[in-house]
Structure 1
Amino acid sequence: MLGHLKKTNLLLIFVILLLCGFGLVMVYSASDVIGAQKFGDSAYFFHKQRTSIVLGLCIFVIAACTPYKKYERLAPILVAGSLFLLVLVFIPGIGVERNFSRRWIGVGPLVVQPSELCKIAMIIYFAAIYTRKQPYIHQFFKGVLPPLLILGAVFLLTLLEPDLGTASLMLAACGAILLCAGLKKRHLLLLGLTAFSAVGYLAFSASYRLKRLVSFTNPFNDANGDGYQLIQSYYAISSGGFFGKGLGNSVEKMNYLPEAQTDFIMAVISEELGILGVLIVLGLYFSFMLLGVRTAVRTPDLFGKLLAVGITFQLMFQAVLNLGAMSGLLPVTGVPLPFISYGGSSLMMNLFLCGVLVNISGFIPKHQFNGKAAFAGRHKKETF
């Protein structure tokens, strides 16, 4: 296993570690006030995040040392298990309700969020199933539709929690895999329009989602209600300037900006480290995306290519949703910023995905580093 790690993309590992380390520092800076007020310890959230990073890095190393092709055989079991856990969320006594949402399963002191596991399972399942369906990938009802029914079931169960943000992330990641799997253009167009229409309908069909949409377009119409959080984010962003107020000197984290250490941690980064800090974070994410795409392009087998695409774009879509909400360009969905926001289960699952991506990078033959690999499948018609 250690011999395999020597062949992996060390730059990719370095970027992941930088993001986690930077996130740990910013979680402490953004949460010291609320930690002291609620728990009598300014480092309360820091200690919990540090523990999550240590556990996540252990998971990362195990995933990086496990040949990614093993997941192809486990794909049906992972999806079945995910569906089972999603159903358990709605069973009284097992499902845990917080803030009018049922997204967790509690067994004693252990609390698990099944939707985080589902994001992983669906990426693996879609990469595996569309690799197997290459001989009839151009036949919609035989080669394309059946896995989409499974995705639809997972999407609806996640939506009922309710968690439109996570459900949308699963759609986006699976959509990226479909885009690279060799489907006909008209099938892709049909699926894209269907997904867009479904998400649009669901966004407007519930009153609380509609209020979020209205508040994000003009938060000052409800400055003390649904628009309050976004307005405070604007204050944080506008007061940072180019170099910021300095690490730890945020004013907004002092009970003005809700969820400063989670969903809106980037606003605190902007306030304390300024535009320069934001550019550094964006540069790290852009580097991760480039390294992930390069891994996908150069991986010799289709399953590895599709798996790398799904992992890379799920994490990037998550970052886009969070940054868009923080800046007022997208509605607030409650999606954390990957590697940086406070949150144990999300962080550990993301590090697992990164471990799989690192493992994939270790199987790239040396002659493939000319960047000419193609998303060929068996027919070799579609290129990346």
Structure 2
Amino acid sequence: MNQVKKHLKHIDYPLFSTILILATLGLVMVYSASFVYAGMDPNIDNSSHYFERQRIWLLLGFIVFIIASLFSYRRLGYFIKFMVIASIVLLILVLIPGIGVERNFAQRWLSVGPFLVQPSELAKVAFIIYFAKVYTNKQDKLDQFGQGVLPPLIVLGGVFALILLQPDLGTAASIIMACGMILLFAGIRFHHLVFLGTIAIGSMFALIVSAEYRMDRLTSFTNPFADPSGEGYQLIHSLIAIASGNVTGVGLANSVQKSGFLPEAHTDFIMSVIAEELGMLGVILVIGLYVFFMFRGILIAKRSPDQFGRLLAYGITFQIITQAMINLAAVSGLMPITGITLPLISYGGSSLLITFLLLGILMNIAIKGHINRRVDYA
């Protein structure tokens, strides 16, 4: 009990406040974006269906956050082999017909009772911890590409391929980018980083041009009006929603585009509804909160008492920021639509829980750093 009180005394309140504001805004906007859609669904008898489920997920998420913030991040290294193996096994299981659950032409989920679990979300956690731990242990070998840098990348490449088979290029890309940031802050040689970045960008381009549906998404985002009723449909209505909001928005719950025009309004395109209902002021608020979170995460990383915590904090921070950037770029037409949700704001179960788990670990690093500084000053 004394240990818990000690931890609570050193909570990073700016980080916690940012999380609380984003989660609360998300809950409000999930209701606003979904009540019309839920009311039109003959299989749902309650217009608050998605709001009520999101409220439950948020409660569970905060419980996960509290537990993770109290659990020493240093102990995570002991479980890393199990976590990596488990994530790989689950990613294989999700691809097996009859076991994996398919929705919207993608097989990304496993059914666990009444819930759907997305193994790629678990892989985010596993590989951020894995990369942080491995490159902490390999500090003296980071100038050797073959022995120090390459081995974890081979494992990551296999996981990338498994996620791509679902197919889920957006999530795979976000994991690659977060792990890439860990490599950067671990201190690998610059020419190694340039080489890996070139390989990653080239591979992404090759993957896009190798699949017709990815090429369709690429061409549709550059000119969505060329196919307004097909590949360009979602982006067109997203842009209409954003343009309709102007500066102050049309008012909370007054969005027109969510009323059967904009698909996935409460998940992938919730930012479009925010822009329509709350205007550019709402957009600036959301982006400002993510920017503040990024700088707070970087500060926590710098203040970490050890290298493992530092790399882990950087990985968590940029995993969440990368996901937010991909979502915001997709809904505004700056990049192809990927199906990635907006962290803490979009409707979702496993994605929300994993985000809170990562944030709880980040909070624990912040607490340890604060306690460590107090001891140093004493």
Q: TM-score, normalised by structure 1?
A: 0.94
Q: Is 1:138 aligned with 2:117? A: no
Q: 1: CA distance between counterparts of 2:112 and 2:341?
A: 24
Contact (CA 8 Å) 1:5, 1:359: kept in 2 or not?
Answer: no
- How far is the alpha carbon of 1:110 from its aligned partner? 3.6
Does residue 26 of the first structure (1) align with residue 26 of the second (2)? no
Q: Could you tell me which residue of structure 2 aligns to residue 114 of structure 1?
A: 119
Amino acid at match of 1:194: I
Given candidates 220, 229, 246, the residue that maps to 2:225 is: 220
* Aligned: 1:13 with 2:16: yes
User: Once the two structures are superposed, what CA deviation does each residue of 1:229-281 show, in whole Å capped at 9, x if it has no partner?
Assistant: 11111111111111111101101111011111111111110111001111111
* Alpha-carbon distance, 1:367 to partner: 7.7
Instruction: Return the alpha-carbon distance in structure 2 between the equivalents of residues 2 and 311 of structure 1.
Output: 25
Aligned twin of 1:232:
237
The corresponding residue for 1:382 is none
Distance in 2 between residues matched to 1:351 and 1:358, nearest whole Å: 10
Q: Distance in 1 between matches of 2:63 and 2:150?
A: 37
Matched AA of 1:6? K
Cα distance in structure 2, aligned partners of 1:28 and 1:201 = 39
What is the distance in 2 between the residues matched to 1:296 and 1:141? Answer: 27
Whether the 8 Å CA contact 1:56–1:348 is kept in 2: the answer is yes
Q: 2:335 matched to which residue of 1?
A: 330
Measured against aligned partners, the alpha-carbon deviations of 1:261-309 in whole angstroms (never above 9, x if no partner) come to 1111111101110011111111111111111000001112000000000
| In 1: Cα distance, 2:268 partner to 2:373 partner | 39
> Which residue, 282, 286, 290 being the options, matches 2:291?
286
Trace 1:1-384 onto structure 2 (pairs within 5 A): 1-38=4-41, 39-365=44-370
Query: What is the distance in 1 between the residues matched to 2:145 and 2:8?
Result: 40
Instruction: Note if contact 2:10-2:370 (Cα within 8 Å) is conserved in structure 1.
Output: no
- Aligned to 2:101, the other structure's residue is in SS state strand
SS at match of 1:69: helix
Identity rate, percent: 53
Q: What secondary structure is seen at the aligned counterpart in 1 of 2:368?
A: coil
Q: How many aligned residue pairs are there?
A: 369
* Residue 108 (structure 1) shift: 3.7
Contact 2:294 2:317 in 1 (8 A): yes
| Paired residue type of 1:34 | Y
> What SS class does the counterpart of residue 244 from structure 1 fall into?
coil
Distance 2:6 2:76 in 1: 21
Residue type of the alignment partner of 1:21: T
Give the Cα separation in 1 of the matches to 2:136 and 2:155: 16
Query: Against the structure 1 CA distance between its residues 365 and 232, is the aligned structure 2 distance closer, same or farther, given a 3 Å change threshold?
Result: closer
What amino acid maps onto 2:40 in structure 1?
A: Q
CA distance in 1 between counterparts of 2:142 and 2:8 reads 34
State the AA in 2 paired with 1:29: S
Q: Tell me if the contact between 2:30 and 2:347 (Cα under 8 Å) persists in the aligned partners.
A: yes
Can you list the C-alpha shifts for 1:15-35, whole angstroms capped at 9, x where unaligned?
Answer: 101100000000000111011
Deviation at 1:111, TM superposition (A): 2.3
Note the alpha carbon deviations across 1:182-209, whole angstroms, 9 max, x for none: 1011111111101111111111110001
Look up the SS of the partner of 1:363 in the other structure. helix
2:119, 2:8 → 1: CA distance?
A: 30
Change in CA separation of 1:367 and 1:48 when aligned onto 2, cut-off 3 Å: closer
Contact 1:5 1:64 in 2 (8 A): no
For the 8 Å contact 1:96–1:105, the answer to whether it is kept is: yes
Change in 2 beyond 3 A, CA 1:67/1:239: same
Shift of 1:368: 5.0
CA distances 1:29-81 after superposition (whole Å, capped 9, x unpaired)? 01110111111322111001001000111101000110000111211111011
Distance of 1:346 and 1:215 partners within structure 2:
27
Alpha-carbon distance, 1:109 to partner: 2.7
1:112 CA displacement: 1.4
SS of equivalent residue, structure 1 residue 203: helix
Q: Distance in 1 between matches of 2:141 and 2:290?
A: 36
Query: For residue 283 of structure 1, what is the amino acid of its counterpart?
Result: G
Alpha-carbon contact 2:160-2:172 (below 8 Å) kept: yes
Do the aligned partners of 1:2 and 1:65 also contact (CA within 8 Å) in 2?
no
* Unaligned residue ranges in structure 1 (runs of 5+): 370-384
**Counterparts of 1:299 and 1:71, CA distance in 2:** 15
2:119 and 2:199 map into 1 onto residues whose CA distance is: 26
